[in-house]
Amino acid sequence: METLKWKRRGNYPMKYIKLMSLFIPAVCCLFAGVAVGQSNADVYDKIRMVRGEVRFTDHPELGNTPANFMFIVFRRVGCDDCLVGVETDIDGKYSLFVGEGTYEVIVYNPTDPVYDMLAPDQPRQIRVGTEDKTVFNIDLKLMHEAAEPGSSGRSVVAGEIGATEKRRLGDDVVSRVEAFKATHGKLPDSLSDIGIKETEDGPIYYQEISDDRYEVWYGAALGESVTYDSQTKEWLPK
């Protein structure tokens, strides 16, 4: 009977050494993969909710009122490209999820004139810690226009609204109408249906033309107005 002979290396047969050279790296890779998977799973434990309400504190007609459909940016301190954006709902409320850390709050007027909208006493940073939920309310201010010195235009004082703010209010009404339509499947009957007090003095007016068409307008000058037609989706002077 032929005797099986193994070449030995130290105390181990060469055949075992070859098998172990294949097996050990595979096991190491397996445990390394498990370790990486566990470290990636840890990120779920570091995500926190931030929620709050955004309000205009100095609205010339409505006073302290929700700032609906406003876009808010949170930028992580120390990382200029680490940005998170969120839009407020029809009631001026928002919620988002971010990682733990300190964030700078940025809100600028989206149309001309571009300016920082955060109120003077509004905190500009938020620290997101280990709490599951952080409440952070945001106060905004509106920039009131004034006529240029020597011009024939009138100054805008408390209780009066300039063209820029009227346009902003008009865009706000359009956004609310569209949100109401998406939720209820029909147009609102009046501004009161979308949470806006309707008065003869305006400054923004709304009219339902048909089941799927409406107009929003505001006075631009004596006997003139600027009107939004939902059919053309444009603001045009009339």
pLDDT tens figures, 87-137: 999 899 999 999 999 999 999 876 667 788 888 889 999 999 888 889 999
CA angle 19, 24, 26 (to 5 degrees): 105
Could you identify the residue written with the tokens 């839009």?
A: 87
As a whole number of Å, the end-to-end CA separation of the chain is 112
Q: Which CATH number fits domain 47-140: 2.60.40.1120, 2.60.40.3880, 3.40.50.10320, 3.40.50.2300?
A: 2.60.40.1120
Task: Give the pLDDT of residue 126.
Answer: 93
How confident is the model over 160-213, as pLDDT tens digits?
456 777 888 888 889 889 988 988 899 999 988 888 877 777 788 999 999 999
Instruction: Delimit the domains of the chain by residue range.
Output: 47-140, 163-237
Residue 45 DSSP code:
G
pTM for this prediction: 0.50
